[in-house]
Structure 1
Amino acid sequence: MTAPTLGVAEQYCTFWVDDLYFGVAVAEVQEVLRHQPMTPVPRANEAVRGLINLRGQIVTAVDLRVRLGLPPRPEGALPMNVIVRSRGEVVSLLVDDIGDVIDPRDQGSLELEPAPSNMPADVQDVVLGVRPLPDAILLVLDADRAVDVSAVPDTSGGNP
């Protein structure tokens, strides 16, 4: 059996951000958590919502809604945390809701396809490709690019 190539993971941890259905390779996911209290980071990029204390480990929380240029989360809706390993660090991706762990091959999706050209540029920037499923399109997230907030214009002037 050969090892899967980049972006052709066998299983994905799935989640929603706005109405977009994402998956990140299970091998890149450390854990999934409910909303956690955050400590704001003064002058940080707007996409960095704060720091989470994860059993003594300090983890940066990146809001995917901000990172992808999507509208703010509805008032009172608390984000969930998908804790991923990226470039030797542990980072929390703040998402709207958590899905299941899926194997797209079990659902007839055999290959990763390129992201459609009409997809917003902010989303294309963080997606390795798409996996068509019987009832949805899975956007396969590149965790390394998703946590890179240097490409996100900061319109807030930095968090207070």
Structure 2
Amino acid sequence: MSSSASPPPVPTAPGFGDSLDYVTIRVGEQLLGLPIGRVQDVFIANRITIVPRAPDEIVGLLNLRGRIVTAICLRKRLGRPVTLKLDGQGRPELTAIGIDHDGEAYALIVDAVGEVIRLDRSTFEPLPVHLDRVWAALATGIHRLADELLVVLDLDAVLDLDLRSAA
């Protein structure tokens, strides 16, 4: 018996201990991963109510099944120029990911939602040193896929808007 104690193993579902699951999204050409356990919904946002004097990242408020949701533009949050997709009637078509954070409901407005992927935990790498500072502050690491990088977002950092100073 060894004298050094190791931490107890983290309980996981059978067969999933060595994998990480993500919902993939795109902002521009970049593939991003959201931890699947944090994603509540995927939906098209419509009827957004603009909030005067809100921080730039906040698109507005919307009603999702009777719950008031704060819509955040992930493009703005990542410091990228905003582009809008329009539906057949010229209205903005906003693809959204529903997230709960500290008891509040948020919708991340993204360019596109991809698939759910399962990656081996051993392929997770720290952030590259040359990654844009804004992105580095909002990400936890990367996975190298066959033809591109998957940047894993830190949803707590993404949703940590300084609303008190904005008020």
Task: Give the TM-score band, short-chain normalised.
Answer: 0.7 to 0.9
1:32 and 2:42 are equivalent in the alignment: yes
Runs of 4+ in 1 over 6 A off after TM superposition: none
Alignment of 1:34-49 (within 5 A): 34-49=44-59
Deviations 1:61-88 (A, max 9, x none): 0101111110111463633101112222
1:64 corresponds in structure 2 to 74
Answer whether contact 1:9 1:25 (CA < 8 A) is retained: no
| TM-score normalised by structure 1 residue count | 0.82
Structure 1: distance between partners of 2:70 and 2:25: 19
Deviation at 1:56, TM superposition (A): 0.5
CA RMSD of aligned residues (A): 2.4
Structure 2: distance between partners of 1:59 and 1:46: 16
Pair 1:150–1:40, CA change in 2 (3 A):
same
Structure 2: distance between partners of 1:71 and 1:57: 29
Q: Percent identical across equivalent pairs?
A: 33
2:10 corresponds in structure 1 to 2
2:138 corresponds in structure 1 to 126
Answer whether contact 1:12 1:26 (CA < 8 A) is retained: yes
1:149 corresponds in structure 2 to 161
1:50 corresponds in structure 2 to 60
| TM-score normalised by structure 2 residue count | 0.79
Q: What are the ranges of 5 or more consecutive residues in structure 1 without an aligned counterpart?
A: none
Structure 2: distance between partners of 1:34 and 1:117: 35
2:100 corresponds in structure 1 to 85
Structure 2: distance between partners of 1:135 and 1:123: 20
Deviations 1:41-70 (A, max 9, x none): 111001000001001100000101111110
Larger radius of gyration: 2
Amino acid at match of 2:109: L
Structure 1: distance between partners of 2:127 and 2:37: 22
Kindly indicate whether structure 1 or structure 2 has the higher relative contact order, using CA contacts under 8 Å at least 6 residues apart: 1
Structure 2: distance between partners of 1:78 and 1:9: 33
Pair 1:9–1:46, CA change in 2 (3 A):
farther
SS in 1 for 2:144: strand
Structure 2: distance between partners of 1:57 and 1:21: 29
SS in 2 for 1:23: strand
Deviations 1:6-32 (A, max 9, x none): xx9621011001111111111100011
Q: Which residue, 87, 90, 98 being the options, matches 2:113?
A: 98
SS in 2 for 1:66: helix
